[in-house]
Chain A
Amino acid sequence: MTGAVLALDPRLRTALAELVLTMADDEFVSGFTDSEWTGIAPILEEDVAMSSISQDELGHAKALFELLATVLDDGRDADALAYDRQPDEYRHARLLDHARGDWADTIARRFLYEIADEARLASIGTGYPPLANLVEKLRREERYHRMHATVWIDRLANGGAEPRRRLEAALAALSVDAATVFTPLAGEADLLEAGVVTRSLAAAEAAWRGDLTSILVPLGLRVPPAAAEPPVDGRSNHSEAFRWLWGEFTTVRRLDPTAVW
């Protein structure tokens, strides 16, 4: 166990583990879903782009699971955390619980998620230096993902009747789950007090909504409406689509837990 972990009081450690788990699961599920495009994306450049982005997201998930393993210190390594849980134990946001869908579904989901992820990463303070250091590095890479999603929102919105119709339908279908990245965490007050995060999830959500507005409104697209109450089960109660994905990404691990990549 490292010095940074030893210095945490148990309550803060639980809260930190919860935060890092949600971040890791979001990147992990997002990376696997988007890797479904490898080989079948609409154009060659997008095949390369989706494969590269997925590789980034899975790499981010791996680094976050490694960090989580040191925080939990319960004998599980990054692979065990990533692959040895039952579907109900994953804590990714319901926004990422949707099947790959068509290209517009993917772009709408990626866009809502990338802008939310940036709002979340921008909320991480210096209270737990190993997380702060990793997040600084992640932000340098994520801006390429955000740019990719934003360029495609613009392209579909201005790409003629059918692309626009499909994009609008995709955004509408996702709107109920759009804000689930900001689902309240049980230990949020402890994280704020310790400076692990510098603003609440509600404040990060407000920033996200502002970013969405500045991009979507000039394109004549609707910003997903804010819910009256924050979603309580925004990171549980997973879909059939996720259960299918889980079956896919755990196949090798279930066949041979000692397999080495």
Chain B
Amino acid sequence: MIAAPAPTPKAVMAALERIADPEIPAVSIVELGMIGDVDVRPDRIHVELVPTFVGCPAVDMIRASIEDRLSAFCCRVDVDVSYATPWSSDRITPAGRVKLRRSGFAAPPPVREGRALPMLDAASVPCPYCGSHRTRLESVFGPTQCRSVRYCADCRQPFEAFKPV
């Protein structure tokens, strides 16, 4: 019998980094900024899960994936959905942004205070296909809670963009 791997913080983070987001499998839940504090002890691993949107229907699936993946480390796994640190689209990592673009999703512009529309309509949302900045907002609301729909005037391609929140 092979002994279960020791739950070191590094090994646990590596395991979390391999969990894909159920809606955009090209990026991991770590790259999307959905993992908060991770507390690793010999007999217990505690993970703070930070949902992108409060009503995100994928949260239960992600929680189950974390429990399943970390159960390889032998001990008790607790996953707490937490709002102590509210998720913001600024939490998406640089590597996550690159992977989003490669999958056809524009990364969100930085979150600023004030009204949402200027932020959403920022000219700084380049087309993930051709890189053009001549893109416009088509619909604030998209196929999932975290996405908007934009259109590129150069390659004439509609694309999805993460909402800045």
Q: Which one of B22-30, B71-79, B138-146 contacts A?
A: B138-146
Asked, given contacts A45-B139, A144-B116, A147-B116, whether A58 binds B88 with beta carbons under 8 Å apart, the answer is no
Chain A residues, CB < 8 A from B56:
59
Contacting residue for B140 out of A51, A134, A140, A144, CB 8 A: A144
Q: What's the interface size class on B, roughly? A: 20 to 34
Interface flag for B4 (CB, 8 Å) = no
Chain A nearest Cβ from B43, distance in angstroms: 22
Q: What's the interface size class on A, roughly? A: 20 to 34
Q: Which residue of B lies closest to A143 (CB)?
A: B116
Chain B residues, CB < 8 A from A62:
54-55
Q: Which residue of B lies closest to A57 (CB)?
A: B55
Interface flag for A52 (CB, 8 Å) = yes
**In B75-93, which residues have CB < 8 Å from any A CB?**
82-84, 86-88
Could you give, for residues 112-149 of chain A, a 1 whenever the CB lies within 8 Å of some chain B CB and a 0 otherwise?
00000000000000000110011011101101101110
**Would you call B83 and A49 a contact (CB within 8 A)?**
no
**Would you call A141 and B141 a contact (CB within 8 A)?**
no
Q: How many A-B residue pairs have CB under 8 A?
A: 75
Secondary structure dominating the interface of B: loop
Interface flag for A48 (CB, 8 Å) = yes
Instruction: Write 7 A-B pairs (CB below 8 A) sorted by A numbering.
Output: A55-B57, A59-B54, A59-B145, A141-B165, A146-B116, A148-B141, A151-B117
Secondary structure dominating the interface of A: helix
Best-surrounded residue of B53, B54, B83 (most CB of chain A within 10 A): B54
Q: Which residue of A lies closest to B87 (CB)?
A: A137
The complex places the Cα of A146 from the Cα of B86 at a distance, in Å, of 20
Chain B residues, CB < 8 A from A143:
115-116
Contacting residue for A56 out of B55, B88, B115, B138, CB 8 A: B55
The complex places the Cα of A141 from the Cα of B141 at a distance, in Å, of 12
**Would you call B54 and A138 a contact (CB within 8 A)?**
yes
The complex places the Cα of A51 from the Cα of B144 at a distance, in Å, of 10
Chain A residues, CB < 8 A from B138:
45
Interface flag for A94 (CB, 8 Å) = no
The complex places the Cα of A148 from the Cα of B143 at a distance, in Å, of 16
Chain B nearest Cβ from A68, distance in angstroms: 15
**In A4-59, which residues have CB < 8 Å from any B CB?**
45, 48-49, 51-53, 55-59
Interface flag for A100 (CB, 8 Å) = no
Q: Which residue of A lies closest to B59 (CB)?
A: A59
The complex places the Cα of A58 from the Cα of B56 at a distance, in Å, of 10
Could you give, for residues 106-145 of chain B, a 1 whenever the CB lies within 8 Å of some chain A CB and a 0 otherwise?
0000000001110000000000000000000011111111
